[in-house]
Amino acid sequence: MAETEPKDAEKKSSKKLIIIIAAVVLLLGGGAGGYFFFISKPADSEQTGKNGENKAAAEEMQDEADPAQEEQYYELSDPLLVNFPAGASAKIIKVSVTVLVKGEANVAVLKKHEPMIRNNLLMAISSIGADKAKTLEGKQELQATMLTEIGKVMELMTKKNPVKAVYFTEFVMQ
């Protein structure tokens, strides 16, 4: 009987040794896998950042977190007045416009370039005509055209378009 006990002890010690070795291998493998997972993440974002895909998304998230980049309303200083020709259904149109932009700095840019913006908006109102401006579709088209025109000015001056929307705060035709 004395001989059978050492064989059982050897079997138990060899099983323990195998379990310990397996646990160490798993821990090392998991550690190495975690290391490569976390190390490879920044390299991937840097590569896509060079392409500009994730870089724009990161800038957008940074802009949202920055309180100076909150959306701001800017009302043009004076209403826009346009005279229509004698044969038109209205003689004059008066439109007050408020612009929604992203960031206080862009409000300053709008103020600075308001003469150019007013010029483009007056031309847009003239081109739509009095008859079309009376309809809802015409007003929506004018609003979209104004958004595009203001966006063009901002793109020209700042190389980005922070304009989100254009709202009519007064719309009078006589």
Hunting for tokens 């913006």 — which residue is that?
Answer: 117
In the block, residue with structure tokens 């259904």: 89
Q: For 88, phi and psi rounded to 5 degrees?
A: -75, 160
**pTM tops 0.85:** no
Cα–Cα nearest to 72, from 63, 80, 81, 62: 63
Mean pLDDT calculated for residue range 83-109:
90
Helix or strand holding residue 7 (H, E): helix 4-51
Burial class (CB in 10 A: 0-12, 13-18, 19+), 29: exposed
- Residue whose entry in the numeric block shows the structure tokens 């081109």: 127
Kind and range of the H or E element at 61? helix 53-65
The residues that bridge with 166 in the sheet, in sequence order, are 99
The stretch 152-168 carries a mean pLDDT of: 91
Per-residue pLDDT of 50-93, as tens digits, reads 454 555 555 555 555 565 678 999 999 899 999 988 888 889 99
